[in-house]
Structure 1
């Protein structure tokens, strides 16, 4: 029996990988003659290593490719596994201990090694718990059977779950698809209502202007008619005509100057929030007219910003971030400012250069101006010059680099203010901010970049 065990030991050394210390798995043999598992050798020969050497003898290999699987060694490994299993199943194979040539009847629970009486008496296992082999085998066999039962139950449960996934009781695919279809239908209905409202308001505006023009024409004809009357007859109608003229001329500004309409789009701001970016201001881009606060999120007009009549100066502050691709969205709190400028700056625009060009001449801007108690929104460049009902608390800015799109939104009303299309971007785009110009005799608050996780609704604004 000793010879059989010796043969088994020699065989196991031939079919054991010196790296993982286990039986070969897809063994390969390199030039020096040593063999290893294919995966073990691949891990040992890391990519980028200066030389590839044998993990056992350190002989340098001239080939950097992993050899093919050694099929003869695969067969020898399988044969060795089968032979070892048969020998260990025999009574003598289980009980023979090679070191002292005695039968093993004990098991060290801590080291999980079989022991003979001589080994038990050595100091290496003196403090360890020792159990008879048959008792330990019975114990572990029961534990293995218990684990097998548990694994079987888990496997059965997983099979049931897999069947439910393949044929779910609730078809979420069609349910969610139906919800999106319904949402599209509701949005289309809302779109039709909004477009109808725009058409009605346009018609009402046209009718109002037509009536105003007719009133002017009637008044002019009446003035001409009265002007040819005798003095006494003319004096009897003069006071009345002057009063009517003043009234009609006073209505002209409101009749001619368009008012910025609010057309809320459901879910608009929620969708734009998917592209929210966290911006900070660059204090080095500010001049003496504007100060950037310590948190790099707010800018405020300084006393050096001299207010003049019809002041159109910009004095901008740039963001630290610049964009050359993708879609971005950010929001700015302008509730404490009667006048402000927002937009983007890009240095390479095909515009006619003038002698006194500044940074704002290379920008696309939305400007808020206050005149005689009314607020006006203007774009540069662009045709927008509309009167508002009141100041805006927060403005959203959306940039899409690839299509050259820049849009401004009224966050509180979830409505579009204005959109630039097909801007020829050829360089990085930087957000631009200006908290002014300040009005004479006022001390406006700061312009603040809103945090990414902040949201504004009507109830929040009314409570501020």
Structure 2
């Protein structure tokens, strides 16, 4: 189809039979014919004259005229399309071979051609579209890629902000770890001062290493953002070029976009800090060792207690939790005991406000309990405290519990050949007697019954 025919083709379609042009504010009469409102009103002669349809001559009531928004929108669209085609005709290049305007774009060859070229054998069966349609199509494609890149940019920005927040939180982590190390070394006095200094140096080095690692993550994220911004700028520059340059430069514009979108995201997971072994610390804790037994009257259902009141075992597999309290109560001082956790799927060990002294019965509230809870899966364990944050993932076979009544906190340790700090509860003002607390559960799918053993001092 020739360029002139293409333009004339846009003239065809919805038009007013009075002005023979596209509709302006079209209305539709009851007879079904549509006209521009101004054109129709001009057909009236005199104020009281009747109005008849110019098409079928039926009587028309002004009040019965219905504005046709769909027809108005269609006419406006056709006007705009025709106007753009006329403009594009002015900017089109001329074919050197045929002297015709190059109004078509061959999508297979990515080339603008004239109508005569489209009939040649080299373009036979190729998909042809008008140049202005090609411009719209490829602008839409570029816009979509730009939007995707911007979304990717926002995601990376969010990860950068998260990484910066992690880095900013180092000061708090350092303060907590330094304080825990200082407090523990305070108990063993001067002969551990050198080791304390060494551990603080190691902590600072670990902090610098983690900062350096996160600086690398930050640099990588910033580099990703820089590459994406550069590609967005390149696309913007190509989008404002002349139409022919725009579509012929599509390959260059889209180069590398998918690689940027598919580049893996830098990891921003939680930090794992080294647990420092304190020489001789367990020996100091053992000076506060208490021989703990369980109170048989507090043992929950489905639990069995050994004759020495130290070995607690689930009688049958059950998904519920069952607890017991220690027979000893504490109202002051420092106290330490250890518990072997065997192969329990789930356990909870700590201290509890004595319910008998507070309420006169065994009713225990969760607010009365300060405990460390663990869950075993395979050869690993998850452990968490009051804040519900994962604390340690290595298996715990023996747990040490240290109660400092006056200071108002409970500290938990992983007891191996050395002793490793796990968690310290927030400071609490204890009121009244405190008892050791134990809780077990055995899952139905686990054939091994859950159990725990309170360790004697000789162990």
The structure with the larger Rg is 1
Q: TM-score, normalised by structure 1?
A: 0.46
Q: TM-score, normalised by structure 2?
A: 0.47
